[in-house]
Structure 1
Amino acid sequence: MLKVMIFLHSFEPGGVERVAFRLADAWTRAGLVPTMALGRAEGAAAPDCLPCRIEVFQRGTFSTRRFETLWMIANLPRLVIRERPDILFCAGNTYAVVAAALRLILGRQCPPILAKVSNDLDRRDLPRPVRPLYGLWLRAQGRLFDSFVALSPAMQAQIARATGADRRRIASIEDPGLTLAEIDRFAALRDGAEEPRPGRRFLAIGRLALQKNFPLLLHAFARIADAQDQLVILGEGPERRRLERLAERLGILDRMRLPGHVDPMDGWWAGADIFVLSSDYEGLPAVLVEAIAAGTAIVATDCSPAVAELLDKGRFGSIVPVRNPDALAAAMRTADRAQVPAPADRHRWCARFTIERAAPLYADLMRRLAAEARANRDDADFFGAPDEDRERWRHL
């Protein structure tokens, strides 16, 4: 049985973490043996039923949030030595530094690393002086990681260009944002929606963080909103107070709501007319799959090579340049839910982005990586290392 180790900082809600838990559940059902390494047992998104065995590094009630990456790097090598996984799954860009550190600490004795690239690598939001250093970091990943997963064919080319990795080491697997049952549930939400009322309801979802650029959304909404229009942003994060102050300054505080982290979000989807994605950068934003399934009109920034593919070059929604309030406002003004494609078309399209499709593709890829590692293993390999070598790593 293939042993897979996944490492996450916590149960904090996020797209990367949610997909990782769902994949772990699907892999367990398929006969794989995933282990989840958690830096701390905190967060609002803890599943009711854990999908696999969980190892938590937190000791007592002391929170390691402020230094979560260093905490993971300090603890994960010992767990890898003890559990001897066949594959290490790096669930997203946030965790790449942990995976790189693990490779450097364990060297050739590190299991193969499969890294999912969850965000756009063309970080146009970075200051120009920083971009060359970021490019070197991406090149280092190309040397340190065994294989990558791109969330779309366009991202596959981007990863090859940015990391220097051979295209044969980069698989393309659409991010599994939903299950087939959830697609059906989202499609049925309109059946239970309340009667139409005056004004349009704009919905945005995401962590209240700089990456999401919700100030851009507030500026655009202020330009086009009528007195009865509403804007709801679901999510929590460090930018809450800044957004509230900006909404007050723009005169839209009475038409904006920030309910925080909400689960489930069915009621909000059922009442939404237009979904807006205002991010500066993303990978394959799974929330767009939910918006397509729910039948809302969609306006999205061109925050990833995957956005145009996900929205089928505009068939499922409007795409505007990043950081352009005029373009975003114009698209929001003309967005119309009456022009959304038919339910059958939406269902067929969304089925590409499901756990049922992605989990077996990941499993096959990991089995190939593990088989290659076994074939290439020599006498100095960790799992066949002399006892004194294993003892040395055990005391890291």
Structure 2
Amino acid sequence: MAGLSLQCGDCGVLLKSVEEAQQHAELTSHSNFSESTEAVLNLVCTACGKPCRSKTESDLHTKRTGHTEFADKTLEAAKPISLEAPKVDAEAEDGGDASASKSEEMVVPEVNKNILEELEAMGFPTAQATRALFYSGNSSLEAAVNWVVEHENDPEIDQMPLVPKDTKVEAPKPSLTPEQLKAKQQELRERARKKKEEEEKITEREREKERIRIGKELLEAKRIEEENERKRILALRKAEKEEEKRAREKIRQKLEEDKAERRRRLGLPPEDPSTAKPPAPVVEEKKLSLPVRPASKAEQMRECLRSLKSNHKEDDAKVKRAFQTLLTYVGNVVKSPDEEKFRKIRLSNQTFQDRVGALRGGIEFLELCGFEKIEGGEFLFLPRNKVDRAVLNSAGSELDSAIKNPFFGVL
């Protein structure tokens, strides 16, 4: 297959012709060239029509303009490369006027090699970087980049510039006086400051809008959470009432069955439901009129344990472990009332919290046994002079019943 380009063996760049290889050699001092069957890329921007010779050049064009679509026309423009050196002017071969030939000789202009290397490192092609440096006055990297940005749509942007051999590159002379230049710089700084202030104001307004939006969302989320919690509590109360109703119905049925069983054992006929006497309202009135007896210590303990089991009925194992732990505390005090370590409990102790403290009703039960909070609520302490064996024995009986009775807390 015929060669479609020349490849520099030193840097790997592809060149379209012998002339470009010569120019590349003059600029870079590279001399190792070989024929390649790979054609130089011809990526044409579909938005503005700019041709790009490499992927790096197309990426740079995309970064500057935002254009991302390129048509690959490499194969359309590819043709075998001619390896013949360009012919020398006939006039020069015939020994014409040497000074005239010399004055018409076109060469690549001399540019600042350091800036050229920086431009190439940034991804600019050699020809484009050389043209930018030459026409920007070979003054600075910033001026060259600005020139490329302003002339990126020029048709000859990727062609190596050629100038007469004796042409010297001169830096552009400033057209403003020092005072005018200083005033212009001050104006530009002031304009930049105002622009920055305006951007900061816009950013602050956007931040304030975002804070307000987030605040509204948090309030709405909190309202929804409270509403869901309220519905959950109502549903829980309703379920508890229904459970209590079912438990009472089971007890009533059990009592009826026991009553029927006793009548059967005594040889009495089954009771006719129609003859059953309804409870007299007078009796109910008498019951209501009886004086209410204050609950004993044992009843208070039983109610406390029943409440603890009801509050944590979803975890029977945790409730049973709490009852057993409380029974251990009470039993230790009864066995060794003079041992202070059995009468003092640190509330922050992790084991105590896991077994009793974290359950609603656990600490209340210990307080019914005589324990008191001391030292700012850090400890539960049962003074020696307040150790009441009768109360502790009653507490042990209630705990034992709560552990062994499977129906405890159901009624």
User: Could you say whether these structures have the same fold, taking a TM-score greater than 0.5 normalized by the shorter chain as the test?
Assistant: no
User: TM-score scaled by structure 1?
Assistant: 0.19
Which structure has the highest strand share of the two? 1
| Greater C-alpha radius of gyration | 2
| Greater RCO (CA < 8 Å, at least 6 residues apart) | 1
TM-score normalised to the size of structure 2?
0.18
